[in-house]
Structure 1
Amino acid sequence: MRRRNLLANLAVTAAAVASSRLPASGAEPGEATLGEALVAGLRDAMLGLGGASTALSPEQAPAELARALSDFHACRYGSLTVRLPRLIRAGHALGAGTNQYATLAQTYVLATWMLVKLDEQHLGWVAAGRARRLAEAGGDVLTVAEAARNLAVLARKAGWGERAMSIALAAADDPGLREAGRAGAAERGLLIQSAAYTAARGGDRQGMRQLTAEAGAIAAELGGTPLLRDHGGGINPITVQLHLISAENSASDPAAALAAARAIAPQSLPSVKRRSRYYTDVAAALGQLGRRDDCIRALLTAEHHAPEATHTRPAVRSLVSGLLASGRTTSELRGLAARSGVLT
């Protein structure tokens, strides 16, 4: 009975977090407003609003999820604006069943990633909670752990550093992951890596570097091919090093972030998403160091690789706004700001 009722019970929990500032979904957005359109679509799908969508059979849903994950790795936000809300509606329409729970849980994990990137924490909490409950109902230990990782990220963004650390490390110690072979080890590495970033945000540079080294040791033992690629991009030694750039930036050590970046050949990164993150993290470090021209060049390179992500992510738009306000502007900066919706 609990499984049969789960999907219906979940549908009412997002009502309190629907945001009145979001546009109605269904419009054709420009790149600068893709984030608002995506959040609006997810909001309405999670609330059971928005009209009928194309039905998916139980056999079609996993393939559609695979396409959405491909869009995520390629930073095709426009495609996700259509595909991801449709997957949520279709998943709820399919009803109970272990396979349906697994696919919908993974869909909610992907929705949480996007909501975190777009700084929509309220809906992110709802999506992460649904992902965990659905994964638990389906007995999917890896997705349960990935949902916990998302909850840890949300707790960190809410300023609850100790709780974020506890969520990530408790999930990493779950015996189920130790019984899940190489995939379980990879998920443990991702959770430890998340804890490292939390340590950085709390100003604990030594703890951050120790935890990053632990995640790196796991990645090195697993080999060079990224494992669990569909868990936010997965883990291998290069992705751990990429994560270190962000962590050093967060620990307010931009020189160390640039040193970490120099250890990576950007062309070796396994996806458009990863290359975009590399250049935006490098831009953030350069901005902290006052190297405006180099910062702008890094942002333009990120835009070249992933225009929709660069124009949409609040963190990047904030960096562009800061550059506009803090010094000399150039035609390149003004153009990037206009394309990002910072200048209208």
Structure 2
Amino acid sequence: MRRRSFFALGTAGIGAVAVGSGPADAAPPPGPQGGDPLERALFDPAPPVRLPDLAAALTRARADFRAARYDRLRTTLPALLSGAAAERDATSGIRRERANAALARAHVIATEVAVKDSADYAWVTADRALTAARACGSPVAVGEAARVLAITMRRSGRIASAVHLLTTTAADFDGDDSANALAVRTSLLLTAAYTAATGGTAGAAHALIEQAQESAGRIPHGLAGELFTVEATAEQCALYRVGLATALGDPDAGVRHALGLNPARLPTAERRARYYTDTARMWDALGEDRRTYEALRAMERVAPEEVRRPSVRAITARLVHSPVRLSGLRPFATRTGAFTA
């Protein structure tokens, strides 16, 4: 991997403005071909967007993702994706590298949203994220893009290939003790550990999460790196241990980690929602319907849009048919789209 200084795309100190001149939250008019605006943006032409505007739009998109405002992202990301691609194609030299860096991170966020929606075009956004990241020469961007591509690979059953991509990319950061390098390495190893767990390889999963824990512990105090959608912290490692245990078919082992982790210490609504998602899956696997429902209700309080994800709705739908009487479950299932009367 080529190593060079990372171009900061305005993740701090830049005002949150939307791409284009219209209102930030205004939905683009539907195209004549219909369909998902985010998916269409991957193929529709658009005018270039200047680098400062791309940086500001990325700042806003990152904030929206971390706050679990996915409906807003589905509205604003199309202009960001198509505008960044057009700017990249219209420029050269350092401006082109910077446009590629913006394009990579825009596609990382788009992939995160597509994965939450269980959308097939996550493959396209993830592949484009990695292509743009490699073109811009930023190791941080390459690491972030490799992580979301591996997630799409895992979800399609390509477990071994996903773990290989994650671990080989993480190895590119060996020997680099900067906060950013350690943060990327940690996030890659955490995802690799969970991916290995979904494939049933317990030894590899536990070894990888221990490596991630060690890497996170070497990040200088007060610095968490500049990753775009996740943080590399001790709390993050504990959170992954919950999901890892459930994926390995041993949810009892996850209970200790879940009860020992205060979700309020997780820095974003998206991560706190992930805690409740993982604990809901854990309690569901243990047959604890009431605790499963409590986790889902807590998720709705911190990130209402998360409970409408297909994978979360599936848990709610199962509870609807549970013999345990759960107060308020039917209205909850109805408003989250898991049940229709």
Aligned partner letter, 2:44: G
Aligned partner letter, 1:335: P
- Structure 1 pair 253–160 and aligned structure 2 pair: CA distance change class (3 A): same
The structure whose residues are more often helix, as a share, is: 1
Partner of 1:325: 321
Distance 1:210 1:84 in 2: 37
Q: Which has the higher contact order (CA 8 A, sep 6+)?
A: 1
- Structure 1 pair 151–180 and aligned structure 2 pair: CA distance change class (3 A): farther
Distance 1:306 1:200 in 2: 26
Question: Which runs of structure 1 show a deviation greater than 3 angstroms over 4 or more consecutive aligned residues?
Answer: 24-27, 177-180, 223-226, 228-231, 328-331
SS in 1 for 2:51: coil
Distance 1:318 1:25 in 2: 31
- Is 1:67 aligned to residue 60 of structure 2? yes
Q: Is the 8 A contact 1:56 1:90 kept in 2?
A: yes
Residue pairs, 1:130-145, within 5 angstroms:
130-145=128-143
Partner of 1:118: 117
Gaps of 5+ in 1: 1-23, 28-36
Query: What TM-score results when the alignment is normalised by the length of structure 1?
Result: 0.83
Distance 1:46 1:325 in 2: 40
- Structure 1 pair 287–26 and aligned structure 2 pair: CA distance change class (3 A): farther
Q: Is the 8 A contact 1:41 1:81 kept in 2?
A: yes
Gaps of 5+ in 2: 1-26
SS in 2 for 1:281: helix
Q: Over aligned residues, Cα RMSD in angstroms?
A: 2.3
- Is 1:106 aligned to residue 112 of structure 2? no
Count matched residues: 305
Partner of 2:17: none
Identity %: 32
Residue among 63, 80, 85 paired with 1:92: 85
Partner of 2:127: 129
SS in 1 for 2:42: helix
Partner of 2:75: 82
Q: Is the 8 A contact 2:184 2:227 kept in 1?
A: no
Query: What TM-score results when the alignment is normalised by the length of structure 2?
Result: 0.83
Residue pairs, 1:1-344, within 5 angstroms:
40-48=36-44, 56-94=49-87, 95-96=90-91, 97-120=96-119, 122-174=120-172, 178-179=175-176, 181-223=178-220, 225=222, 227-228=224-225, 230-311=227-308, 313-344=309-340
Q: Report the Cα offset of residue 74 of structure 1.
A: 0.3
Q: Is the 8 A contact 1:165 1:198 kept in 2?
A: yes
Q: Report the Cα offset of residue 340 of structure 1.
A: 1.2
